[in-house]
């Protein structure tokens, strides 16, 4: 149908499109300008992530109690602020 020239062209396209895309998107400069800013928008900074996940039952309960107390303190502070403004 197409002849040998078409087959050579198709082979070149099949071979070079993935290679060119790997070279282009694998460039560290492209990664720094396009991926890193988007990653910083999507994910919280490493300092804000939990690094020490408790596995023992008493540590899990302590952590849940701490989180519950923080929420109650925030709720109380918000209620005090609301009552203060009213």
Instruction: Indicate the DSSP class of residue 35.
Output: I
pLDDT in tens, 23-59: 999 999 999 999 999 998 998 888 888 778 889 999 9
pLDDT per position as a tens digit, 13-27: 999 999 999 999 999
Those residues whose C-beta lies under 8 Å from the C-beta of residue 63, and which sit 6 or more positions away, are 54
Torsion of CA 15, 21, 22, 26, to 10 degrees: 170
Phi, psi of 49 (to 5 degrees): -85, 155
């Amino acid at each position: 149908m197409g002849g040998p020239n078409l087959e050579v062209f198709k082979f070149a396209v099949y071979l070079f499109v993935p290679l060119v895309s790997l070279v282009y998107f694998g460039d560290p400069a492209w990664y720094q300008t396009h991926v890193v800013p988007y990653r910083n928008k999507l994910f919280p900074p490493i300092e804000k992530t939990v690094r020490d996940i408790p596995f023992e039952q008493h540590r899990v309960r302590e952590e849940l109690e701490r989180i519950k107390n923080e929420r109650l303190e925030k709720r109380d502070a918000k209620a005090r602020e609301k009552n203060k403004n009213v």
